[in-house]
């Protein structure tokens, strides 16, 4: 059995955390390939190394003195090295980084050095091979991830190795410059490596014991999710459940590799298993609830809209020309509502309204702001009658006015729009009706 294991920044923030990580890795010989993040916060008021690198580089790029900030980064790594008792010097690497900062190598390069240096330290501590991600993970000229080239390179490099540490978060462009994934991209690296070595399991170790049925900042001690499908996770991640980077799903999903979210500080916890499909019945009708604030709804009314061929295309064309993505588009016979991110829309509001009048000649356009969206997700919803009815009954009982409803034919999720002022109340009401009362 082969496992790829990724450890987040909080799992590698200090020497004490490094020791926990080594115990986890050495507990099973199947944990062969390790993807580390940069050191995270050691305590709430601490600073992540990635943020320290960004700040340091910005000073260097402006020609300002960055010695103090650079030395602080060095102290973070040498503090870990010395406490672990390692015979390891990073002076050569730091000299190269210093020169590249002065030479304005780019913010992607600066940010990637956190994972790069942590990878060297962890490989030394574990006695594993170190593989620089810049040598095996590739982006094309447009900055897009090159999955085919990366897959071939990683497979060839790792097939002869029993164990290896591959830093997360970055790869290289055709001109050999460093390119990073979006923030939290070490999750993606782990998924890519798992697919390349055809792993049996991808373990993603973090500081929580998997996904929860609801945001713990809204509901106290929500129930854990032990098993979730890729489709369910995609819906919840998109709506704000951020334990795993949402793009990390795709490489392993294509290869049929499950992901196990685990807690470095509580390795005995089962965590959450993410799978393609499962025969296991969920504990509740719903799998989870997630939501976000900050949306605007543009309501367009026009008589006989349904008989006008191409009307929907004309509406969306206006948003496309202004570089605005739409989130949802519920409609009626003579009405169409377009839900967008409020902050993005505000900058282009008048251009979009003018474009809609020119393109579509609507009878009226109405704008509603400060909308929150809540996704109720669950693979068991389609086999349980009255799910939507129970949701709206719970919201009515909590005196929450539903402003929008959107449900796909898959019956995997129901999207509900409410006022931002009702967001927390609505989450609690839905959680209570399905989880606390187990309806």
Domain boundaries, the chain: 3-207, 288-436
Q: Is it the case that residue 180 has pLDDT exceeding 80? A: yes
Confidence tier at 247 by pLDDT (50, 70, 90): confident
Residues 6+ apart with CB under 8 A from 32: 2, 3, 4, 162, 163, 164, 197
**What is the pLDDT, as a whole number, of residue 179?**
97
d(CA 33, CA 197): 9
d(CA 258, CA 241): 18
Please report the pLDDT score of residue 323 as a whole number: 94
Q: Is the pLDDT of residue 239 over 90?
A: no
Q: How confident is the model at residue 439 (pLDDT cuts 50, 70, 90)?
A: low
pLDDT exceeds cutoff 90 at 255: no
Nearest to 302 by CA among 365, 248, 346: 365
Question: What average pLDDT does this structure show over 307-311?
Answer: 93
The pLDDT assigned to 434 comes to 94
> Residue 36: its pLDDT value, please?
98
Tell me if 233 sits within 8 A of 178, measured CB to CB. no
Using 50, 70 and 90 to split pLDDT, how confident is the model at 385? confident
Residue 73 has pLDDT above 90, yes or no: yes
Return the pLDDT at 234. Answer: 84
From 198-202, 248-252, 284-288, 415-419, the region with the lowest mean pLDDT: 248-252
- Measured from the Cβ of residue 331, the count of other Cβ atoms closer than 10 Å reads 16
Rounded mean pLDDT of 159-170? 96
Confidence of residue 438 (pLDDT cuts 50, 70, 90): low
Question: Which of these, 122, 138, 121, 131, lies nearest to 178 by C-alpha position?
Answer: 138
What pLDDT is attached to residue 101? 98
Q: Per-residue pLDDT tens for 117-132?
A: 999 999 999 999 999 9
Burial class (CB in 10 A: 0-12, 13-18, 19+), 270: middle
What CA–CA distance (Å, rounded) separates 437 from 425?
17
Which numeric CATH code is attached to 288-436? 3.30.2130.10
Neighbours of 369 (CB within 10 A): 12
Calculate mean pLDDT across residues 24-42: 97
Q: What is the mean pLDDT of the chain?
A: 94
Mean pLDDT calculated for residue range 298-310? 93
Contacts of 66 (CB under 8 A, 6+ apart): 56, 57, 59, 60, 101
Region 285-310: what's the mean pLDDT?
94
Rounded to an integer, the average pLDDT of 88-105 is 97
Q: In whole angstroms, give the CA distance from residue 347 to residue 371.
A: 17
Query: What pLDDT score does 184 carry?
Result: 78
Q: Check whether 190 has a pLDDT greater than 60.
A: yes
In this predicted structure, the answer to whether residue 48 has a pLDDT above a threshold of 80 is: yes
Average pLDDT over residues 60-69: 96
Architecture of 3-207 per CATH? 3-Layer(aba) Sandwich (3.40)
User: Residue-wise over 195-206: b if at least 16 C-beta within 10 A, else e?
Assistant: bbbebebbbbbb
């Amino acid at each position: 059995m082969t496992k790829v294991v990724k450890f987040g920044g909080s799992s590698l923030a200090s020497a004490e955390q490094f020791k926990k990580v080594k115990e986890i890795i050495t507990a099973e010989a199947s944990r062969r390939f390790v993807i580390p993040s940069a050191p995270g916060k050691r305590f709430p008021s601490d600073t992540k190394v990635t943020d320290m690198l960004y700040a340091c580089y910005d000073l260097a790029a402006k020609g300002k003195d960055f010695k103090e900030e650079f030395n602080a980064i060095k102290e973070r790594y040498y503090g870990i090295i010395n406490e672990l008792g390692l015979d390891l010097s990073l002076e050569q690497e730091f000299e190269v980084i210093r020169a590249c900062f002065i030479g304005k190598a780019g913010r992607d390069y600066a940010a990637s050095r956190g994972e790069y240096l942590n990878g060297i330290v962890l490989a030394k501590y574990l006695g594993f091979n170190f593989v620089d991600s810049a040598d095996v993970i590739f982006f094309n000229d447009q900055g897009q991830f090159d999955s085919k080239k990366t897959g071939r390179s990683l497979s060839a490099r790792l097939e002869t190795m029993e164990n290896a540490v591959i830093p997360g978060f970055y790869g290289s462009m055709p001109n050999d410059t460093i390119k990073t994934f979006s923030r939290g991209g070490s999750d993606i690296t782990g998924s890519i490596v798992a697919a390349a070595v055809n792993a049996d399991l991808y373990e993603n170790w973090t500081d929580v014991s998997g996904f929860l049925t609801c945001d713990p900042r809204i509901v106290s001690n929500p129930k854990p999710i032990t098993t979730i499908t890729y489709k369910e996770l995609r819906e919840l991640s998109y709506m704000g459940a951020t334990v795993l980077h949402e793009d990390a799903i795709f490489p392993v999903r294509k290869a049929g590799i499950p992901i196990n979210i685990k807690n470095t500080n509580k390795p005995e916890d089962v965590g959450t298993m993410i799978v393609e499909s499962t025969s296991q019945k969920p504990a509740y009708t719903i799998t989870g609830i997630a939501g976000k604030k900050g949306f605007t709804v543009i309501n367009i009314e026009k008589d006989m809209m349904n008989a006008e061929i191409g009307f929907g295309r004309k509406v969306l064309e206006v948003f496309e020309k202004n570089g605005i993505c739409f989130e949802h588009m519920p409609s009626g016979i003579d009405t169409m509502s377009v839900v967008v991110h409020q902050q993005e829309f505000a900058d282009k509001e008048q251009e979009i309204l003018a474009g809609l009048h020119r393109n579509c000649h609507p009878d009226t356009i109405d704008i509603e702001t400060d909308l929150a969206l809540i996704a109720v997700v669950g693979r068991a919803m389609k086999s349980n009658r009255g799910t939507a009815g129970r949701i709206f009954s719970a919201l009515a009982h909590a005196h929450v006015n539903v402003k929008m409803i959107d449900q796909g034919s898959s019956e995997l999720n129901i999207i509900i729009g409410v006022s931002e002022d009702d967001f927390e109340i609505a989450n609690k009401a839905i959680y209570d009706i399905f989880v606390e009362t187990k309806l």
